[in-house]
Structure 1
């Protein structure tokens, strides 16, 4: 048996070669995909790209129709692509057929088609579309109410109907996409009319004949993208039910006290919180007897003039809505100069939305309008936001000013089991772009809080047990009747209990290989039970469109085969970047910037488009777009092909489409969950997604990844902070692309581990086994390393039934006597797995001591378990000092 000195030396030598020890040569770098080039199918020979000759165009314009513009019908197979020219096929079409539709579809289908408006003489404004009933010879009817024009409005992400105004500039073409639910009992030829009517112009009547025949379509055509039936998904309200999702419970209200899973808030007379408490222990497990106070005293909204602070006469607090999912309330308050209407809403996940509507009753000079949030010192130990990396809250005054050059409008302060996040906004809030695209879609400076950059946030160091967050807006003159909206969101953290059991049981396999044939064998051999399928795969070729017609059979077969081997399959699926390969591209383009985000087009320069967009985008989209991710296939079914994408608009109807697509994949492909990468999804959309995923009672997982946003391209934002409002519906985080192992323990805890927010995580670029395991973080196979030996260790130990006792928990039974060496214990009945990690580059000595009462047993058996490529098996004495090499650590098994 080796003596301690020799054992320490060997362990130290191993840990000094991290590439060897942890297989870092196997780690994936997705940016390498950008080095590949391939072919994007040219549209040069597309019939709808063949421009009318100048002579033919001039001859058409000389017709000068009574209406003052032209209408051309097109079926769904001839997408109108050009807005600055008309296709040759239009000028060749007889006049009588320009405004006639001849279509065919099947019973039960959602049928789509187009009308192209060409305005060569003058601009058209406020175009409307009306429909007649369509009837067949036997009196069968497709009612007018079954038709819709997607360009004129629809259903937003909250389930509310909205209208859009369509204008057509002089000399341009506007496509109007129309769709209709065809009854399942429809048969024969249906005839009807559609009237196009711009304001201040003559209407044009479109005569339509639709032949309906064949077998009934039970899925409305959603299974075949070429039909473009999925356009109806844009107007879906799926998942909008007012019910809590797992693991949440219904919201309860007793007088002014509102409770939800893990939290309680008591309202004051103003409608703002008097107190907020969480009910989690230091391992973020629910405990009804625990009350962690977030507020030292009630929150206050202050208006100060030259005469001093306004004195308020508060009205009655009224409950304006209550369901199992939320509670809403309202308070009206008055002073001599102002009226405030405070409305609030608390959801079952602990997200609280406030709207403070401030109205001036006369002309008044304002010295300041501010929100004062008195945190307890306990709930202000850590912070992130306002340009500060996550970790310990600085002891000095923090003075931050609004500047939308930076993606900063949020501040979180808290402890591991009690925190509060704020996001400040007004009625003009628009969700900004994330990642390297922030500069192309920045925050709107809120008129209220920002006040022409006079506003800001001070965080005042602790005094008498209080840490004050002061969100102020500064001096201004308000005119009589002027109204300002001081809106903000608060999220109480943790959002849910930690689920170590799920982390220990669910093992991901996540490869970047183009070829999927090896995924299932590799996953099975490694002991994984879930496969994440990225885009750029032979079964899923194009980004964020997994239901691509050509790939669906392959993807369906892959998932079925995986299920036979008891493997779950989850897909990369989010909203932010969207492939141009989608069949609905030109329909979405006809919606203006509603779905495809506005941008500089061919003039765009980004971190990955230093020389501008791909030539295909420049030729075919030309303007009003932002180029996004691209990659090419090196091998497999799509070898030589290239995927290019554009940025989508946050909070658009594309979210509805996304959710219907999720539902379709669950029901038709057997999807087991999704992997979300830097996303434009909002809180409500992911809540809806959670309902969809849980609808049949099966547990499906969402894991979320983010790049390092603390840089000039991303607006110096905190990666995890961007998505805090999504975390109630996320099962695991994977934060840290660009985060190194060298970061401080408090940064690991706050920005990487997910623990203060109720989630567990995995390591990415921060590849250090010991530091990761302090927080329950393992590498992801094979993307960021090899966790297989650690999976075996966890399984042999019984990690799924253990309790985590981290160094941040006063119940941690292990001490090292060295502040540079941290310890976490995983305790299971009469066994414990203890992790030590040296957080320096130099050797450190640990004087290991155990608190047997906290441990729950007296250890009589103590060893270093063998973990392949990490440490060898050996004995260890807890009575002697132990030396660890820089960046090293120990895994110790204790038994009674």
Structure 2
């Protein structure tokens, strides 16, 4: 923002210190602060990342001018598409004005008042305000070290990898780090490593004890998240941390403060790249205040949740209901409703599910050499692990110079994983290798996978490996029994569309010769995974990995009959909070709206019981109504307050009559709050289609509760509403519904009207005609309820009896409908929360970025080592703050007009540890008891942890799963079965 003097031409010098590359390719737009009018007489003299010089002709002088840089064309509110291009430089100056300009020093200078961001979230200062080249050179001149360290507070995450922030120039490198922590807190800090003169291959950090009057914080309480940790399977993880010359890389360090610590603690830690001198950093922590029982997790700014990256929560041997502990008897292992009996080679001889035999014969691994199959001689079987959750076995067998070792792992949910290792004593030429799964034909009724859409199993199917399709598995079975076979690549990776990350398995694929045939003969279906010919070299083992899933995993949860997704104040029992909902607006990051989530859960749990036993009267339409011509007369008493409510409050609508057809065509007649009068409509198809060829309302402002009226709906050449014999509204429309009335019903319902009598005729009504509740030659249905004895059926004077249901009673000679409110089943809340992409509003963004490609996909570049990193695309915020080394995912509009722009995550990473902890935390903090997965961004190991954590937090938990059908757009190109 500038203040300009009273002059026809003003020089503005802006030291904006911009991070974006090539600012000269982007427009600069100036506006008069007083009028909002754009200033067009502007000349760009110099535009660099460090500063710009402009000449301008103010419109209000003296006055103030807004200078907008990085202006862009905002994208639409859809989830995909162009992220919003920056406007290119635009020459708007009057040529005559421009021609008169002289040297900039001749003009009075504008004063820069301040540089503002669109919002707090868009701010660049202090960590994205660049140092100039001269300032950086001067810093290097004062500090001849190969690398420089810049300790930094957690409140100022290090964001830039390509520049030093100006605040570091002011402060200088090195020095002590002082921070304030609370007892029990996981305290986070960071150190920026600047590779000043030479590249750094890796970094190491050595911690020492912190000592103080209150005792010692041991070195073991420290961790550097960038260098070591625990992966998603609970295995130790180490990572290299290189830094390219001229680059800046943050190291995030955490220390677990003991709950009894108090006062000042001092010590050091040392950072050392290999081959370079170590640098010591002095650390002082002042500890005080209340104990943080949650280590600080309730305050996102503390960054204490970074320790969740190393969590092992849920990695244990617990068996959660309804699953049961594994039982072993000889070579058989039993899990919930299923059993596997292992044979002499370590493969299943028998598989049963719900008492049905899945296998028609034992499963076999057959090796063919010299034109014949080799015969395995079974060796020893060892049980290497046996718990309630897991049974692991190793079996060996030999055959003519080959040793076969089959390692199996059966888990409590019916998953059986195998690694079959072939090791030759000498060089062996193989004609082929077959893994044959002989299935009971009666069980293998359906098939899904190996490139086939789910459905009936064909008598023959052939499949081969394709690196562009992750369809290397298939399920065979029916509702009572079945099995999935998955052929597993050589390395573990979560791949849902292709196999490029893991590559095709050398064992199974065998340079494109491998595949799988499914054939049927008699009562047996054989699944034959083959490899083709190959040569095995002496002493070189070859692993074949595969997995069986024995289905069904568990009985259907009987509670699902009570799950109704919708308004908990109505019939809904489960509220689904989707991504972008007000309580959950940020993509896969629900931690920024915890109060809103908690309030919603509390409101759902406090919702009144749902309405049940709603009174209703139903007649068959066929024979009781002519849809082409006729009229309906209802003698009714008003049982509601017509003055209550306000427009668009649909709960005040009062039902009366509807004709409903099996194809969901409908004719309706009811009182509408927007009209404050009777309304009618004809609908074609389901309500969601919103197809109403005719709909109109009338106005009865003088109605009062207790009034009695004759309500008439007439149809023929026009559709009309009459009140007490007088025309209230009409529309040109021929007849009503056009489909046959077979199976259609006439329905009278709603507590708003008490019915004195119903009459339906086959002639349209004529205004002013007298209508009596008695039958004549045109009457199709007449029911005055005079003969009703309180039973389930009425006794009409003409027509088919009506069927009463729910709460119905006689009040003052009229039939009145009511309802009973009873306590419904427990109500819950499901939340959209998964792993696949992550909001750019994530509080830990910069710490996660410091991990390189561990958590986020980087587009194949390393921002910390590659000398020239091309800028990435997507929404403007991503381009301005992340700059490079990310992959845009999708975006969603927020309530404040901003966009949440997510970026893609890796298939498996330590973020999954964070995710599991986050699920536990959000359930505990808000009361959410259900999870909605819109696609799954993790493997079965994470899913087991998710289920365990949810079960421990709330035994009544739910997991709902949704996935795209790969034979429907936009996923149809993939043609895969979900792993």
| Superposed pair shares fold, TM > 0.5 | yes
Is 1:589 the counterpart of 2:589? The answer is: no
User: What per-residue deviation string (whole Å, max 9, x for no partner) do you get for residues 630-656 of structure 1?
Assistant: 1113xxxx3202111012112211111
| Cα pair 1:99 1:205 within 8 Å, conserved | no
Q: Which residue of 2 aligns with 1:503?
A: 560
Determine the C-alpha separation between the residues in 2 that align with 1:441 and 1:534: 31
Deviation at 1:265, TM superposition (A): 0.8
Deviation at 1:160, TM superposition (A): 2.3
Question: Tell me, what secondary structure is at the counterpart of 2:206?
Answer: strand
Is 1:418 the counterpart of 2:481? The answer is: yes
User: What per-residue deviation string (whole Å, max 9, x for no partner) do you get for residues 299-343 of structure 1?
Assistant: 111222235323323211111110111211001222333222210
| Cα pair 1:544 1:573 within 8 Å, conserved | yes
Q: Which residue of 2 aligns with 1:458?
A: 517
Determine the C-alpha separation between the residues in 2 that align with 1:297 and 1:685: 34
User: What per-residue deviation string (whole Å, max 9, x for no partner) do you get for residues 380-438 of structure 1?
Assistant: 2110112111001112x322110011121111111221111011113313111x4xxx4
Q: 1:37 to 1:593 in 2, by over 3 A?
A: closer
Q: 2:353 aligns with which of 278, 286, 303?
A: 278
Q: Which residue of 2 aligns with 1:113?
A: 189
Is 1:407 the counterpart of 2:470? The answer is: yes
Root-mean-square deviation (CA, aligned residues, Å) is 2.5
Is 1:524 the counterpart of 2:602? The answer is: no
| Cα pair 1:602 1:618 within 8 Å, conserved | no
Deviation at 1:117, TM superposition (A): 1.0
Deviation at 1:292, TM superposition (A): 1.2
Q: 2:149 aligns with which of 53, 56, 71?
A: 71
Map residues 337-348 of structure 1 onto 2, 5 A cutoff.
Answer: 337-348=401-412
Q: Which residue of 2 aligns with 1:5?
A: none
User: What per-residue deviation string (whole Å, max 9, x for no partner) do you get for residues 712-760 of structure 1?
Assistant: 97575567x415xxxxxxxxxxxxxxxxxxxxxxxxxxxxxxxxxxxxx
Question: Tell me, what secondary structure is at the counterpart of 2:963?
Answer: strand
| Cα pair 2:343 2:349 within 8 Å, conserved | yes
Q: 1:46 aligns with which of 125, 129, 135?
A: 125
Is 1:60 the counterpart of 2:139? The answer is: yes
| Cα pair 2:130 2:163 within 8 Å, conserved | yes
Is 1:671 the counterpart of 2:928? The answer is: yes
Q: 2:536 aligns with which of 459, 478, 482?
A: 478
Unmatched 5+ stretches in structure 2: 1-75, 85-117, 608-825, 864-871
Q: 1:127 to 1:714 in 2, by over 3 A?
A: farther
Give the TM-score of the pair, scaled to structure 2.
Answer: 0.63
| Cα pair 1:665 1:671 within 8 Å, conserved | yes
| Cα pair 2:82 2:874 within 8 Å, conserved | no
| Cα pair 1:40 1:616 within 8 Å, conserved | no
Q: 1:718 to 1:531 in 2, by over 3 A?
A: farther
Question: Tell me, what secondary structure is at the counterpart of 2:508?
Answer: helix
Deviation at 1:364, TM superposition (A): 2.5
Q: 1:571 to 1:453 in 2, by over 3 A?
A: same
Q: 1:264 aligns with which of 303, 314, 339?
A: 339
Give the TM-score of the pair, scaled to structure 1.
Answer: 0.69
User: Comparing 54-63 with 324-333, which one deviates more in the overlay?
Assistant: 54-63
User: What per-residue deviation string (whole Å, max 9, x for no partner) do you get for residues 85-140 of structure 1?
Assistant: 22112222134xx242111121111100111111132221231111111112x152
Determine the C-alpha separation between the residues in 1 that align with 2:162 and 2:83: 30
Determine the C-alpha separation between the residues in 1 that align with 2:313 and 2:370: 52
Question: Tell me, what secondary structure is at the counterpart of 1:655?
Answer: helix
Q: Which residue of 2 aligns with 1:129?
A: 205
User: What per-residue deviation string (whole Å, max 9, x for no partner) do you get for residues 519-557 of structure 1?
Assistant: xxx4312x1111111121222220111111xx2222222
Is 1:614 the counterpart of 2:689? The answer is: no
Q: 1:707 to 1:246 in 2, by over 3 A?
A: same
Of structures 1 and 2, the one scoring higher in RCO (CA 8 A, sep 6+) is 1
Deviation at 1:32, TM superposition (A): 5.7
Unmatched 5+ stretches in structure 1: 1-29, 280-290, 510-521, 604-610, 724-896
Q: 2:494 aligns with which of 415, 428, 431?
A: 431
User: What per-residue deviation string (whole Å, max 9, x for no partner) do you get for residues 437-480 of structure 1?
Assistant: x46965521111112222111112x2132111111111223222
Is 1:364 the counterpart of 2:428? The answer is: yes
| Cα pair 1:37 1:631 within 8 Å, conserved | no
Q: 1:37 to 1:428 in 2, by over 3 A?
A: closer
Deviation at 1:78, TM superposition (A): 1.1
Deviation at 1:602, TM superposition (A): 13
* Count of aligned pairs: 645
Q: Which residue of 2 aligns with 1:707?
A: 964
Determine the C-alpha separation between the residues in 2 that align with 1:568 and 1:601: 44
Q: 1:52 to 1:360 in 2, by over 3 A?
A: farther
Map residues 858-869 of structure 1 onto 2, 5 A cutoff.
Answer: none
Q: 2:310 aligns with which of 216, 231, 235?
A: 235
Question: Tell me, what secondary structure is at the counterpart of 1:695?
Answer: helix
User: Comparing 481-490 with 267-276, which one deviates more in the overlay?
Assistant: 481-490
Determine the C-alpha separation between the residues in 2 that align with 1:376 and 1:105: 65
Q: Which residue of 2 aligns with 1:649?
A: 906
Question: Tell me, what secondary structure is at the counterpart of 1:722?
Answer: coil
Of Structure 1 and Structure 2, the greater strand share is in 2
Question: Which has the greater radius of gyration?
Answer: 2
Question: Tell me, what secondary structure is at the counterpart of 1:81?
Answer: coil
